[in-house]
Structure 1
């Protein structure tokens, strides 16, 4: 069967490589003819540059019919494409989107997601929003607690774009050490004052201000089908490489998330340890995983989780085509320390071919 991965981040190449030798013939499309996704696929074609919205969806449907594609895992415009599933199905094409358009946009809007989150699944750090210099000052006054650092990030964004931990004063040691994600509160105020000179609400994009949790950070990669969790891998960040952990509490959270949002696809959620756990950690302090965000897409670090014995894209495609034997899904290999050795690949002027 022909499966198409549409324009996405370069790390998507790991999913394409994971399908080589399977029952699926791997296709990839991108607007950049030199993109790494195309180098990782068996068959490729180019996407038109600048095409968006329903125009892009209509072009994609025609392209899939032309190339005999039976399955599509979209990157670009995946939220909007959820409303096109019936039209693709009418052409005999299974379009795999992680959730309805409304659910995907809800998860992308981090302030809306946090307001609607069920803290019985996982707690949240204290947080609020601001959209002007005055509301930033009010938010800092509201959340400031002795011994607890604050952080800011945009309510809409991916990866660590716009994330900064606020320092009471500039710190030369952190600056010389190459710390990229810190800034002083005074510098933040100057930035927001420059961007919002009138001081009126709405001048800034909606931003989050949160308590910075100082415990371990984890990323949980999951694959689900129609609300059923198929597999989840918990990886703890920090140090060299990442540690694959056995965390029944986070696996249970993954199951509840899959069901709550009726997810079908590869998704990820991020946690960080904070206080109020039922038992002490190795330093004698109470720690508990707090929810930070859910991303209804594959994470940039999915390749680490696949090293734990889980072929995420194969599980997803087998579930979508009804051939998945759940009894034979390999278990997650925990207790591993996973690192990555980057390699360079010569493309030799490769061009995308129809």
Structure 2
């Protein structure tokens, strides 16, 4: 029941949630990052330093860390490490380790926003109207985003035809002015839907919600679970959509990992860390049982300082 959270950085609340889930089972939680000066490493039971996920030595270092700390579950938190972790699945499985990551095919469908739109349409799910590469929109304003990218980088509104770049690597869609929502969707380790929590993004900074509120919207959460099942996603996933009551949601992306504000859904009752450990323990019925959700619960994000001594920094082992 030991857990390793990758790219832990400042994800203190996620590490804390896994510690609370693992402790009653006698498990410990380790946090990993490139350098010791990351706050979440000091929230974990133990910390390890790993190379970048694109480093040739990452796989060997990760497997050795899992072996040394008797890790049962590896939790990625950054898009860039997902495909690498998926490729390491056979070697991790040989060590008795479960990486919380979908197949390479599923990851590709989520990473490429044009493929994401095509997959949604193939499964009867709506997206904002999307223009083929090179086709000029019929009306303005439109919204453009890089076909591959994260964190809202490069996403912007275009009001006039003369301002629209001729760039095949940009996805061009009709501007959707409905409120934007996030759905935290929990799947089991075989990709079956369990439960989802919707939260309205009230204030966003650098692509991440800093104010958000849980809402009761089954007409949004059920299609989001269907999307995750159709794509073959596992574990905790974050789905973005435009939504207003009385209309089908228009999905814009799916992130096959925990999100920066997923702690709100976890605390509202989704309890993903606890249920993931139940799945690992073979307690499938307990993990699948729906949880009561605290609709209306709000997250107001703020910064907090973590103070560490030179001795504490030096104690973080590579």
Please give the TM-score of this superposition, normalised by the length of structure 2: 0.85
Q: CA separation in 2, counterparts of 1:214 and 1:126?
A: 13
Q: What residue is the counterpart of 1:72 in the other structure?
A: 74
Q: CA separation in 2, counterparts of 1:234 and 1:248?
A: 8
Which of 299, 304, 309 is residue 348 of structure 1 equivalent to?
309
Which of 256, 259, 273 is residue 226 of structure 2 equivalent to?
256
Any idea what SS the aligned residue of 2:32 has?
A: strand
Which of 43, 47, 69 is residue 46 of structure 2 equivalent to?
43
Deviation at residue 167 of structure 1 after TM alignment: 2.4
Aligned length: 301
Which of 288, 294, 306 is residue 333 of structure 1 equivalent to?
294
Q: Is the 8 A contact 2:180 2:240 kept in 1?
A: yes
Query: Measured at CA, do residues 327 and 186 of structure 1 come closer, stay the same or move farther in structure 2, by a change above 3 Å?
Result: closer
Which of these two proteins has the greater Rg computed from alpha carbons? 1
Which of 275, 284, 307 is residue 267 of structure 2 equivalent to?
307
Gaps of 5+ in 2: 204-209
Q: CA separation in 1, counterparts of 2:32 and 2:117?
A: 34
Q: What residue is the counterpart of 1:87 in the other structure?
A: 91
Gaps of 5+ in 1: 169-184, 193-203, 280-286
Q: What residue is the counterpart of 2:255 in the other structure?
A: 295
Q: Is the 8 A contact 1:121 1:256 kept in 2?
A: no
Q: CA separation in 2, counterparts of 1:8 and 1:112?
A: 29
Deviation at residue 81 of structure 1 after TM alignment: 2.0
Deviation at residue 206 of structure 1 after TM alignment: 1.3
Deviation at residue 121 of structure 1 after TM alignment: 4.4
Q: What residue is the counterpart of 2:142 in the other structure?
A: 150
In the alignment, structure 1 residue 270 sits paired with structure 2 residue 233: no
Deviation at residue 61 of structure 1 after TM alignment: 1.0
After TM superposition, the structure 1 = structure 2 runs for residues 192-207 of structure 1, keeping only pairs within 5 Å, are: 204=167, 206-207=169-170
Query: Measured at CA, do residues 39 and 186 of structure 1 come closer, stay the same or move farther in structure 2, by a change above 3 Å?
Result: farther
Q: Deviations over 1:140-190 (max 9, x none)?
A: x3x232xx520111011112111001123xxxxxxxxxxxxxxxx65554x
